[in-house]
Structure 1
Amino acid sequence: MKISIIQTEVSYKNKRENISRVSSLLSAAKEIGDLVLLPELFSTGYIFNEASEIHELSEKFAGSQTIESLRSLAKKFNTVIVAGIAEEDNGQYFNTIAVIDKNGLIDRYRKISQTNIDRQYFSRGNQLTTFKYQGVTFGVAICFDLWFPEIVREYSRLGVDILLHPSNFGGEQSLQISRARAIENSMYVVTCNRVGSDITKDLTGIYRGCSQICSPDGNYLIRLGDAHTLATVELDIDVSSPKQVIAVDLNHERDSILSQLKTNITKHN
């Protein structure tokens, strides 16, 4: 399974330009993966002065021009594209990841773990998303989702081989958390972060890039810098061997640890 990360510099509120930048990187690439991952909200930016600004940019996925453009690129380059797009659905707005192949929209994931910024603009998602492609099981988590181990643990229980992690972050913590989740859950974690900045009257977001792929044993298969770029990596996955999911009784583990601590304290006294 080959995966391409597009670490794009987002042109603020300019969907046409952002799609053009993705198209240019794909056209110039020597190799394109079986799946192409784009950042969270790649077509619009993430921080706005007013919620109305991102709401005006949000799209109903039936008839979405952004999805149609990505469908055309998926067909042209014989790949599946996974991309962050602001979605409108029945008067609600979501920070959404769309999964798109040559025929159009396959599936979607709506961000569950909201930052203070998300809560100003978007409704909260309420379900996980998995899909199979070439025998590999994928899950999707957006940026801050990875800070909550329960989400990734549930994906592990569902047999996910590769967790796709589109992001907009500026700090180092998310990079370390991505690696921790890969090790904890014995899965690949593919983090695609953007570069550039969003500048509003009250807040400036500066995005570090540093997209990376962590293997289940915590090794880095690639770590990018802060450039607008496309990189392709091959992941070695044995789909003939089902993923082993380990169920842990957390209450039993807690009680066992507390019991041991009490025993040690008694001995010490």
Structure 2
Amino acid sequence: MNHTPTTDTTTTPAAVGLLAGKVAFITGASRGIGAAAARLFAQEGAQVLLAARTTDQLKAVTEDIRAAGGTAEYAACDLADGASIRAAVHHTLDRYGRLDVAFNNAATIVPPAPMDRVAEADLDHLYTVNLKGPWLAMTAEIAAIRATAGTGAIVNNSSIGSLIGNPALPAYGAMKRALNSLTESAAISYGPEGIRVNAIAPGTTLTDMMYMWDQHSPGIIDQYNTRTPLRRAAHPTEIAQAAAWLLSDRASYITGATLPVDGGMHT
């Protein structure tokens, strides 16, 4: 089965930039959905700060954005290290003087297995990166938005696996479901200040993480495409488009939502 989306919106120009005039912070921005988001946000008018562990890849994406006429900087950031997260957010303020929006995209995965075969160390790693990491990032981002822009928006990258059970990735799904709860709580806490917090729940998306899973479990992409009404996987830019919209002023009355971006899989 063909895994390639029928459309790729990476070069489609926006009539009016969704994020014009905003400063955006993006974790996990060196590849996949995060890199697509960095390119798209810059194309939509934002000044972007890319954060991830892989400096070489961050530099390459940053240079691509600049070559296309965008404004971008990068900072090394490890979601397992709270000081590293705070330093990356502070670098955004040092470079641009403010923070308006943030996309907490970075995540990790462990080998697929039933719950009784997931190593305790893998569970701890998923907790540290996929739940504690976004918690720490949101704390730093909220403080930065509050101190500079005053109002803003945050989007957390969850997963369709947070909305439906997945026996192959039980711990991953559990952390993502907890992230949805954290998103809702933050939306309630910071809504009165004008800070919106939402999440997106991508379905099958053609990222390195998905290809790794397909190598471990051959045919899993095809299986999920069969279960998806649109009968295909998403391009990372399609997921980034949803995040950009939720971060933009066009979604100004939406907070506390977890938006499925899954081709109808969860329908």
Q: What is the TM-score with the length of structure 1 in the denominator?
A: 0.40
Which structure's residues are more often strand, by fraction?
1
Larger radius of gyration: 1
Superposition TM-score, scaled by structure 2 size: 0.40
